[in-house]
Structure 1
Amino acid sequence: MGIKFLLLGALVGLLLALQACTATSHSEEAGTLGRPISMAAMERILDHADQAGPVELQTFNSADWIADLSGLVNLDNPEAKSAGLSAREEPIQVYLYALRHPTRGLFLIDTGFSAQMAHDPGSLRAGLVMRHEMHLDRLSFHLGPANVLKTENEPLRGVFLTHMHPDHIGGLSEIPLDTPIYVGPGETKERHWTHFFTRAVTDRALEGRPALKTWNFAGAANDPAQELAAVDIFSDGSVFALSVPGHTRGSVAYLIRTTHGPVLLTGDTSHTRWGWEHSVEPGSFSSDRVRNRISLLQLKALVARHPQIQVLVGHQP
């Protein structure tokens, strides 16, 4: 009986430890880039600005991959059930984006994978469980940030993250250590059992770097459950960070007024084209499906009001 209680106590302790694990031990600080802006003010810019904006945006496919559909799409959603979706492997891509502002310079949105992360993840502290569950052996690597940056004629000014999952920060080993990195508020402090397996990779990616910068969404929305909070990143109406918690606590989408018109990067608020088109939120890969659905529907409503916006979902063309 004593042994059973000891084992039970050990199991409870392990479960509590898993739930208490934060995304990273790396420090964060309030960022000073940009200013909060109301949705009404942001949408007035979309209404009255020219279709073409000042920013060049280029998409890069870092890798082809597969993932479990039950993680990408909530299969319990009535719409998914009606469509007959069931658990299977789904082909996906891993993206990074180069953002070129005419006066502020070059930025990356997410980092995809580095060659090292793709070919030798263990050297970046990816354990066996993480490598197995993420199907890293099924990854077909194409390029990382180093390939993108070597063709640029100016230095990298910063990295804007949609969130801190390994497939979005996996290229940080190819980013200069002094590069500012921007995340959503609360992203580093989110507690989830999966961080027990990914935190070592995240800490290794951030090792030797300055504190992460968090977007200042304070006061941008009176009721975040009803209205998106936004930051005008360069204070010129060209690029906006949108707070979309749910997939992770600090998930961020980005709305960019590009030279080809406005583009919305949803991040993993919507992984798949099918999920976006049918308004079905992600499944088990999200920490809070209910909040993720609210964020997804807020983005959908924004695009419905401004159909000129081109939508790029997190992991599919």
Structure 2
Amino acid sequence: MPVVLLGASGCATVATVHPRVAADLGTASRGSALEASLARPGVVGFEQVAFARWTAGRAAFIEWDDPRTAAVPKGTEEATIFAYVIDHPRFGRYLIDGGVSRDLEPRLNPLMRRALRDLDVRIERTTGERLAGEAAPRAVFLTHLHFDHVGGVMDLVDGTPVYVGAGDAEERNLMHRLTGRPADIALEGKGPLREWAFAPDPDGVFAGVIDVFGDGSVWALSLPGHSPGSTGYLINAVAGPKLVTGDAVSIRLGWDQELPQPLPKGARAEARASVEALRRFAAAHPQVAVFLGHQPLAY
């Protein structure tokens, strides 16, 4: 969400002080193993769920100072808060990102509540409503810790494990101080954040690759840039493989026209490399459906 995309400056603070431990799931692997897994039939159930929508100026999503944006007209973008329900035949149900909780806004500080009003955030359903009467998720796999991706964790039972890319909790930004670290509110009552143990991908397909369950069905992908621990997920689903980019690419302009996000200068090179890796992978594997961070399928 735009309020968390502003650059870091003086008096910056970390994204969360929630406790952290090493992930107890997943094994570091390599891009060639990930690519080989695409040849096998998918076994995981997959559902994209839209939880809320908002409207923001394009400056919230693309970097106007970059010459590549010169031909893009000013205007607004409709954005959606998505999460994903995945059902593994052996290991059970998991969420990718947290969705939305109605309990979050009343606990936010005045700056964040005003931001939500200015963006005209419209909640269509909450995580609790979507999951009512169904199997509770065994864990949440976050793409990153920005509050529009972690907020719905509040609706899950206390102790639900939450996994995130290493370094995300330590992201320093002035906005974390100004907004009161909403990730801390969303994570209250949950166990320590479990940080994925990425290692450099020997094949260079992505910065790092983790085989989450050890059977090639779900993969965590290191995509640093939008945040230090930004993580994508490749799901070998029954209906075909799905690539969840998180906010490594948040809207179609970022994918179709390769337009950069408004990020601190120190993060731009990593962000560009992550987007290029995603685009190369999608081009090499056209059977993979791509799910962007805040808008519908790229294609």
Normalising to structure 2: TM-score of the pair?
A: 0.90
Alignment of 1:59-74 (within 5 A): 59-74=48-63
Report the alpha carbon displacement of residue 284 of structure 1 after superposing the two structures with TM: 4.4
Q: What is the match of residue 132 of structure 1?
A: 114
- 1:87-127 CA-partner distances (Å, limit 9, x unpaired): x331111111111111110111111221233xxx1x32x22
Going from structure 1 to structure 2, the CA distance change for 1:245 and 1:60 (only over 3 Å counts) comes to same
Contact 1:66 1:135 survives alignment (8 Å): no
**In angstroms, what is the RMSD of aligned CA positions?**
2.0
Q: Deviations over 1:160-194 (max 9, x none)?
A: 00001111111121011110000000111111111
- Structure 2, unpaired ranges of 5+: 1-8
Is the aligned partner of 1:277 residue 2:289?
no
> Taking structure 1 as reference, are residues 94 and 159 closer, same or farther at Cα in structure 2, changes over 3 Å only?
same
Q: Select which of 38, 49, 71 maps to 2:40.
A: 49
1:104 aligns with 2:91: yes
Q: Give yes or no for the alignment of 1:37 onto 2:29.
A: yes
Provide the rounded CA distance (Å) in 2 between the counterparts of 1:263 and 1:223. 21
Following the alignment from structure 1 to structure 2, what is the Cα–Cα distance between the partners of residues 76 and 309? Answer: 32
Distance change in 2, residues 1:112/1:174 (3 Å): same
CA drift of 1:199 comes to 4.0
Match of 1:12 in 2: none
CA-CA distance at 1:134 after TM superposition: 4.6
Runs of 4+ in 1 over 4 A off after TM superposition: 134-137, 284-287
In structure 2, what is the Cα distance between the partners aligned to 1:223 and 1:95? 30
Q: Using the alignment, how far apart are the partners of 1:76 and 1:272 within structure 2?
A: 18
CA distance in structure 1 between the aligned counterparts of 2:94 and 2:185, rounded to whole angstroms? 22
Alpha-carbon distance change, 137 to 16 in structure 1, aligned in 2, over 3 angstroms: closer
What is residue 9 of structure 1 aligned with on the other side?
none
Amino acid at match of 2:183: T
Quote the Cα distance in structure 1 between the aligned partners of 2:203 and 2:170: 22
Residue by residue over 1:17-57, the C-alpha shift from the partner in whole angstroms, topping out at 9 and shown as x without a partner, is: 2x2x00111111101201011111211222x323xx00111
**Aligned pair 1:180/2:161, yes or no?**
yes
Deviation larger for 281-290 or 155-164:
281-290
SS at 1:138's partner residue?
A: coil
State the identity as a percent. 35
Contact conserved, 2:15 with 2:181, CA < 8 A, in 1?
no
**What is the SS of the residue equivalent to 1:156?**
coil
SS in 2 for 1:169: helix
The structure-2 alpha-carbon separation of the partners of 1:299 and 1:64, relative to structure 1 and needing over 3 Å to count, comes to: same
1:229 and 2:220 correspond: no
Structure 2 Cα separation of the partners of residues 212 and 305 of structure 1: 34
Structure 1 gaps of 5+ residues are 1-14
Higher Rg of the two aligned structures: 1
Give per-residue Cα distances to partners, 1:41-82, cap 9 Å, x unaligned. Answer: 211222x323xx00111111101111231121223333322x
Do the aligned partners of residues 216 and 33 (structure 1) sit closer, same or farther apart at CA in structure 2, a change above 3 Å counting?
A: same
Shift of 1:304: 1.0
Q: Secondary structure at the match of 2:138?
A: strand
C-alpha distance 131-223 of structure 1, shift in aligned 2 (>3 A) = farther
The size of the alignment, in residue pairs, is 288
Is the 8 Å Cα contact of residues 95 and 141 (structure 2) preserved in structure 1?
yes
* 1:303, distance to aligned residue in structure 2 (A): 0.8
Partner of 2:269: 290
Query: Alignment partner of 1:116: what SS?
Result: coil
1:85 aligned onto 2:65: no
Q: Which has the higher helix share?
A: 1
Q: Distance in 2 between matches of 1:66 and 1:279?
A: 21
SS in 2 for 1:242: strand
> Given the superposition, is the C-alpha separation of residues 170 and 269 from structure 1 closer, same or farther in structure 2, using an over 3 Å criterion?
same
Which residue is equivalent to 2:3?
Answer: none
The aligned runs of 1:240-259 (5 Å cut-off) are: 240-259=219-238
2:283 alignment partner in structure 1: 304
